[in-house]
Amino acid sequence: MRIRTRRIAAAVGVAVLAVSTAAQAASSHKVNMLGKGSQSGVALKSTYTGKPFGTCKMSGKLVIPDTQQTWKCKGGSFKVVGHGTTGAANDAKGTWKITKGSGTGKYKGISGSGTFSGKLSTGTFRYKGKARY
């Protein structure tokens, strides 16, 4: 009888652990970030503000048509790959995707993607899409 009680207690413990892990699962967030930055050669830097990350510092590298970016925000960081698709002489737009496995801190396990658009002359870009963390 004692062995059976231990088995039941172990099963209940596993069930409680599974429920608490599911409660901590990632949730989806709408991304709407506006940034103002600069470019020097292939080096990029910008400060982005908005939802859901708050204020983030971005540093990166431009190798046309792609960018490799690191976003450092309160609570962690993650990497983004941007791909420019089209745009007039002063306009730029394209797609972005968060690099799998790049998140740290509260962004560990982050994923997401979306679009960006902006003006090259002012260094102002808006990122829209979805992120899950």
Interval 26-57: pLDDT, tens: 899 999 999 999 999 999 999 999 999 999 99
pLDDT digits (tens, 9 = 90+) for 51-99: 999 999 999 999 999 999 999 999 999 999 999 987 677 899 999 999 9
Kindly list the structural domains of the chain, giving each domain's residue range(s) and its CATH number in brackets, ordered by start. Answer: 26-132 (2.40.350.10)
Cα(33)–Cα(104) distance, integer angstroms: 19
On whether the pTM is more than 0.85, the answer is: no
- Burial profile 40-62: b = 16 or more Cβ within 10 angstroms, e = fewer: eeeebebebebebbeebebebeb
